[in-house]
Structure 1
Amino acid sequence: MSTLTALARAQALAAGVAQPIATVRHLHLTERPLVLVPLTMAGEANAPLAMLVGTEPDRPRLVIVPQPRDRDQRLNFVTTLGTVLLPYLGAHRGVSESVPIDRGRDVRYRYAEAPQVLVPNSAGITFLRLLGRNNRFRRTDGDYPVDASVPLVGCWLTWFAERAEHPGSALLVAMTDALGLHWATGQSGVEDLNLAALLGWIDPPAGTTGAVAAEEAEDPSKWPPAGPTTDPEFDNEVLTPAIAAYQAAVAAGDEPARRRAYATMSTALRGQLEPTWRLMWRGLSLLRRLPPGARVVGRWEADRDAFTDYATYRDEGGQPQPRRDGAVAAAQRLHRLERALSAYAVQRAYDDPLVMADHRLTGEAFVGEVTLADPARVDDSGKRPVLRPRIMLVTTDPVLFQPGTSLSSPTRPSQKARVVFVTPTGDGSKTEVVLELSGGMGRGLTAPPGTVPEVGERLCYTTLTDGYVPPGAFPTREETPWTHGGPPPEV
C-alpha cells in the first residue's frame, strides 16, 4: 500500500465515505460486457452449483446444477454456459480493421472489438480458470464423449484466465479489483473483497455512512456472499434439503416431484445470486462515470490483438493450452508479465496526477513551473551543431536527481530532459532545476512552436519512461539448459 493510499484510507474512515485515488478510469469498459456471477458447492473442488450470466441488467440467465456431484450435470452446465459464451465471442468477430506495420509498408488485421467478461471478485476468476482446466481436455469421441462445445469453452475460459494475469488487461475483470483501483475505503483490503461492503463505502445510501453500509453488507440474509462460495447457513438450511429432495424425486422416478424440487432450487439460488447481480451493474455504472485515461485505448488495442490471435489459432485447429508450461515458455511468459507490469505502472502514472503523486513522494518525479526558457540554444561542441534548448523550473517538491539524470514528461513523452543543475533556493523552501531538452523538436536548429515548454507552464518530470523496451533473448525449446530440465522429451 502506498503512502497516499494509506492516507486516503484514513480520510475515508474520518469522512465516512470512500476517497478517490484516481482521477481517470484505468481500464476499458465495453458497451456490452458479459457479467458472470458463479456459485460453487461447498466441499467439492470447483463443482459448479449455479450462475447468473448475461449482457443486460434486467435479463440475467440462471443456470443451475441440481446435483453438483453428478458428472453429467456438470458437463451440461458447461454446455449451457457455452450457448451464452460462444455466441457472445462470435459477435465480436464480425468486423476487422487494418493496422499498419513495418513503418507502413505492410498491414495486419485485428477485430474491431473484443469480448469483456466481468466477475464479482478474484475468486470468480479462479473459478473460471479451474473450470477451463477441468474441461479443455475433454474428448468428443471415445468412451465418454462430451458435447463439442465443452472443450472449446474450456479453452476459452483458460485463455481469459491467463489474460487476466496480464497487467492492464480488461478482458476478464474482477469488480472488486476494478473498484479498489479507483477508490480507497475505510476498511482493510481483506474486507474490500466483499463487493457489497466495498460498494457500501464507495456509494453509501443517502443518510448513512460507508461504515454503516459495510456493516449491513455483512448480513448474509440481506447481502448473500458474492461467490463463488455460498453462505454456510444457506447450505445447511436451504440447499442441502433441496438437493436431497431433488435426488429423492429422481430416484423414485417422480417427474412432478423432480420439477417441484428443481423449481425450489432455482428460486433459492436465484435469491442468492440476484443481489450480487445488481451490485455488479451498480459498480459498472460507478466506473463509467470516470473518464478513461489516455493510454487505456492502447492497452485495449493489445487486448484486441490477443483476442484476434487466439481466435485465429482456434480456427486453424490449435491445441488446448498445455497443463504446464515448459521451462523456456514459462520464462518467456514471466518476462512478458514483468514488462507489462512495468509499462502499466508507468502508463497509470502518466495518465493520472494522483498516481504520479505517489512517485513524487518517493523522489521519482517532481512538478514545477517553468521560469526561464532558452528554446533557441544550440550545442556546437560536437561534430555538428544540434538543437539543445534549456529550461529552468522552480519546484517545492524534493528533488533527489543528480546532474546527468535522464527524465521524461507525461505531456511530452517523446522528449528527453537531462538534469544540468539542481540548486536549492536561499531559504530552502524551493529548488531550481535546469534541464537540457532533446528529441521531439524535429531535425532542424529551430524548435517548432509548442515543442519547447514556455515560461509559466507547469510540468511534471520523472525518471519513469514509457519508451519501448526490447524483449529479452531466450533459448529455443531444443536448447533448454540442463539446469532447467534439459530439452523436453518430445524434442
Structure 2
Amino acid sequence: MSLMSTLARLEAVRSGRAQVVATVRHRHVSARPLVFVPLTTAGEAGAPLGALVGTERDAPRLLVVPQPRDRDLRFAFLTELADVVLPYIDSFAADVEPAERTETDPETGKRVKVEVELCADAPQLLVPSRAGIEFVRLLGRSMRFRRTAEQDPETPHPAPPHVPLLGRWLTHFGERARVPGSSLLQALTELLSRHWATGQSNLEDQHLGALLAWIDPPEGTRGAEEALRAELARGADGQLLHPPAGPATDPAFDNRLLAPAIERYDRARTRLAAAEDGLEADDRLGELTAAERDVRALVESRTRPTWDAVWHGLDLLRALPEGAHVADRWTRDRWSFTGHRDRVLAGEPPQPRLDDAVTAANKLATREREQARLDAQEALDDPLVMAGRRLAGEAFAGEVVEVVRAYSESRRPSPRPLVTVRTDDRPHLGERAKVYRSLGGRPQSAEFVEAVEENTGAAHENGADGEDVHGGTGAGAGLLVTVRVLDKMGRGREPEEGSVPEKGDRICFTLFEHEQRGGAKLPDPEDTPWTHGGPPGEAAATTAQRPDAVTEEDVL
C-alpha cells in the first residue's frame, strides 16, 4: 500500500467518509454495460442458484434454478443466460471500422501494415465483486467443452444449443480480466476501491454495501457506522437487510428460507409425477408452480438489493471525468474482442484447459507489460497518483529556474540543453539516470547531471557520492536538479520551438518509462524446446480439446 493510500485511509477514518484517491476515472465504463448478479448454491461448487442479468436498470431478467442439483434445470438456466448474453455480444460484433495492424509477411519476414476490421465498440460485463469474476471463469470452463446433440448425436447428456459458445465467451472475458487495465469484465468493488479509499480493509471493501456506505453515506451519518449496519443488520425475520454481493449466500437465508422452499418444490414435483389422473395432475401442477414461484421470490429478494447497488455505484463512477489514456486501453480491449470474434467465426476449437509453454509465457509477459504501462499511464493522467509516485521518489516536479544551451560532442553536434528544476521532492536519482517527461503525449527523455541543495550548496554530481539523491536537510529545503535533454527536439542544430522547457515553466519528470518495451521474441508453439514440454503434438491437442467427462455430480 502506498503512502498516499495510507494517508487517505487515515483521513477516511477521521472524517467518517471515503476519500477520493483519483481525480479522473481510470477505467472505461460503457454506456450500455451488461450487469450480472449471480448466486451460487452452498456446498455445490459452481452450481448456480439464480441471477439477475440485463442492461436496463429498471428491467432486469431473473433467472432461477429451483433445484440446483438437477442437471436439466441447470442447463435450462444456462440456456436462458445464453439467450441474454449472446445477443448482447452480437450487437457489438457487426459494427466495425477500418483499422491498420502490423503483421509479419510470411514470404519476406518483414513487418508490414495491413487493413483489417476493428469492432467500433465492445461489450462490457459488470459483476458486483471479485468473487463474481471467478464465478464467470468457472462457468466458462464448465461450458465451453460441452457437446450438443448437433455436434455429437451420441454424446450422453448433450448440452443445449449455444451453451458451449457462451462458455467460450465467458472464458475470454475471464482471461481478459486478468490483464491489468482491461475493462471487458470488471468487478464494481474493484472499480470503486480504485477511486475511493475507505477506513476499512481491502477484504471488507469486497462487500459492495459496506463499500458504498463509506463512499456515499446518508446525510448526518458516518461511514463506519453505515458499513457495519450494511454488513450485520438483520430484520425481524433474522435475514440480512443488505445481502452480500454474491455469489455466496447467507447461511441464515440458506437454512431458514431457501432449504425449506426447495424441499417444498421437490415434494410438489414428486407428487406431480405420481399423479394418477388429469384432475389430480392439475392440482399437483398448481402446487409445483407455487413452490417454484416461492423460490424465485427468495432469489430475487437476495439479488435485487445488490442489483440496485451496482447501478448506484455506476452513477458515482460516471460522475468522474475519464482519464486521457482510458480510450487507448479500451481500444486494446476492442482488438481483443474482435480477435476472439474472428476465431469463433472461423470455427476454431475452444480455448484449451492448459496453455502450452509459449502461450503461457506470452500471457505472463503481456500482463507484466500491461501492469507497468497502466501504472505509468495512471500517474500521467492523474495528479493524485503522480503525487504518490513523487512521495516514493519515482518522480519530481517543480519550476524551471535555468536553461543552458549545450551540444553533443560529435562530428555533427546535436542540441543537448541543460535544464535546472527547483523541486521540493526527493527523487531517487543515480549516476546518469534516465528521466522522462510527457511532451505532446510522447515521452521525452533526459539524463540526470547533478542535484544541489539550495540552502547548503552541497552538490551531488552524477551520483559521485555513491548514493541516490534522497532525503532532506530540513523543512522547506529546496533541491536544484539539473538534467540534460536528449531527444524530441527535431533534426536541426537548434531545438524546435516548444521542445525545450523555458524558464518559469512548471514541469514534471518521472524515473519510470512512459511506454513499455516488448520482450524477446518467443518461438512458435511448434518449436517449443524439449525443456518446456516439446512441441504440442496432435495427441496433446486432441486431449486438450476433449469434452469434460461425465461425473457423479452431473447425474442425479
TM tier relative to shorter chain = over 0.9
Q: Report the equivalent of 2:459.
A: none
The equivalences for 1:21-420 within 5 A come to 21-101=21-101, 106-141=114-149, 142=154, 143-218=156-231, 219=233, 221-253=240-272, 254-374=284-404, 377-411=405-439, 413-420=442-449
| Distance in 2 (alpha carbons) for counterparts of 1:51 and 1:486 | 43
Contact 1:66-1:265 within 8 A present in 2 as well: yes
Q: Tell me how far apart the structure 2 counterparts of residues 439 and 300 of structure 1 sit (CA, whole Å).
A: 29
Distance 1:354 1:380, change over 3 A: closer
Greater shift, 231-240 or 344-353, is seen at: 344-353
Q: TM-score, normalised by structure 2?
A: 0.85
* Aligned-partner Cα distance in 1 for 2:408–2:531: 53
* Identity over aligned pairs, percent: 46
**Which letter maps to 2:313?**
G
Task: Tell me which of 482, 491, 511 is aligned to 1:463.
Answer: 511
Out of 258-267 and 326-335, give the one that drifted further. Answer: 326-335
- Per the normalisation by structure 1, the TM-score is 0.96
In the alignment, is the contact (CA less than 8 A) between 2:438 and 2:444 conserved in 1?
no
Q: Which amino acid aligns with 1:393?
A: V
Structure 1: 5+ residue stretches without partners: none
C-alpha distance in structure 1 between counterparts of 2:53 and 2:408, whole Å: 67
C-alpha displacement of 1:403: 4.2
RMSD: 1.6
Secondary structure (helix, strand or coil) at the match of 1:387 reads: coil
Q: Deviations over 1:397-450 (max 9, x none)?
A: 113313421111135533111112211112441111112213222222233332
Cα distance in 1 for partners of 2:71, 2:91 equals 30
Query: Helix, strand or coil: the match of 1:97?
Result: strand
Contact 1:378 1:445 in 2 (8 A): no
Query: Do the aligned residues in 1 keep the contact of 2:40 with 2:48 (CA within 8 Å)?
Result: yes
Deviation at 1:477, TM superposition (A): 2.9
Which amino acid in 2 is paired with 1:405? Answer: A
Name which of 480, 490, 494 aligns with 1:432.
Answer: 480
CA distance in 2, matches of 1:452, 1:16: 46
Tell me the CA shift for residue 489 of structure 1: 4.1
Matched positions, count: 489
Distance 1:223 1:380, change over 3 A: closer
Determine the C-alpha separation between the residues in 1 that align with 2:168 and 2:257: 34
Structure 2 runs not aligned, ≥5 long: 103-110, 234-238, 273-283, 457-472, 540-556
Q: What's 2:494 paired with?
A: 446
Quote the Cα distance in structure 1 between the aligned partners of 2:124 and 2:244. 23
Larger Rg belongs to: 2
Comparing 422-431 and 166-175, the one that deviates more? 422-431
Letter in 2 for 1:426: N
Q: Look up the equivalent residue of 2:265 and give its one-letter code.
A: Y
Equivalent residues in 2 for 1:473-488 (5 A)? 473-488=521-536
The amino acid that maps onto 1:399 is P
- Can you list the C-alpha shifts for 1:266-321, whole angstroms capped at 9, x where unaligned? 11111111100010001001111111111111000000000000001100001111
| Equivalent residues of 1:185, 1:202 under 8 A apart | yes
AA aligned opposite 2:289: R
Corresponding position: 1:423 with 2:438: no
